[in-house]
Amino acid sequence: MNLSLSITKNIHDWLFNMMPETLASLVEMTLIALIYLTIFAVIGLFLVLLERKVAAWFQLRIGPNRVGYHGILQTMADALKLVSKELTGTVNADKFLYNLAPYFVIITALMALAVLPFSLEFQAFDINIGIFFLIAISSIGVIGILLAGWSSNNKFALIGAMRSGVQTISYELSVGLSLLTMILITGTLQLSEIVEVQRNGWLIVQGHIPAVFAFMIYMISGTAETNRAPFDLVEAESELGAGFHTEYSGMKFAYFFLAEFVNMFIIASIATTIFFGAWLSPFGITESLPWLGVFWFLGKTLILMFLMMWFRWTFPRLRIDQLLTLEWKYLLPLNLMNIVLMALIVWLNLTIQF
Binding site for another protein (CB under 8 A): 1-2, 22, 25, 92-94, 96-97, 100, 127-129, 132-133, 135-137, 139-140, 142-143, 146-147, 149-151, 153, 158, 161-162, 165, 169, 172, 187-189
Which C-beta is closer to another protein: that of 7 or that of 147?
147
Which C-beta is closer to another protein: that of 93 or that of 216?
93
Rounded to an integer, what distance in angstroms lies between the CA atom of residue 323 and that of residue 233?
9
CB 321 to another protein: min, Å: 11
Q: Is 144 helix (H, G, I), strand (E, B) or coil?
A: helix
Which C-beta is closer to another protein: that of 19 or that of 83?
19
CB 149 to another protein: min, Å: 8
Rounded to an integer, what distance in angstroms lies between the CA atom of residue 354 and that of residue 342?
19
CA atoms within 13 A on the CB side of 324: 8
Which C-beta is closer to another protein: that of 121 or that of 193?
193
Q: Is 354 helix (H, G, I), strand (E, B) or coil?
A: coil
The distance in angstroms from the start CA to the end CA of the chain is 38
CB 251 to another protein: min, Å: 21
Q: What does the CA dihedral 279, 282, 286, 287 come to, rounded to 10 degrees?
A: 70
Which C-beta is closer to another protein: that of 147 or that of 271?
147
CB 288 to another protein: min, Å: 32
Q: Is 56 exposed, middle or buried (0-12, 13-18, 19+ CB in 10 A)?
A: middle
CB 187 to another protein: min, Å: 8
CB 86 to another protein: min, Å: 23
Nearest in space to 263 (alpha carbons), one of 104, 99, 154: 104
Helix or strand run (H / E) with residue 183: helix 155-186
Which C-beta is closer to another protein: that of 79 or that of 131?
131
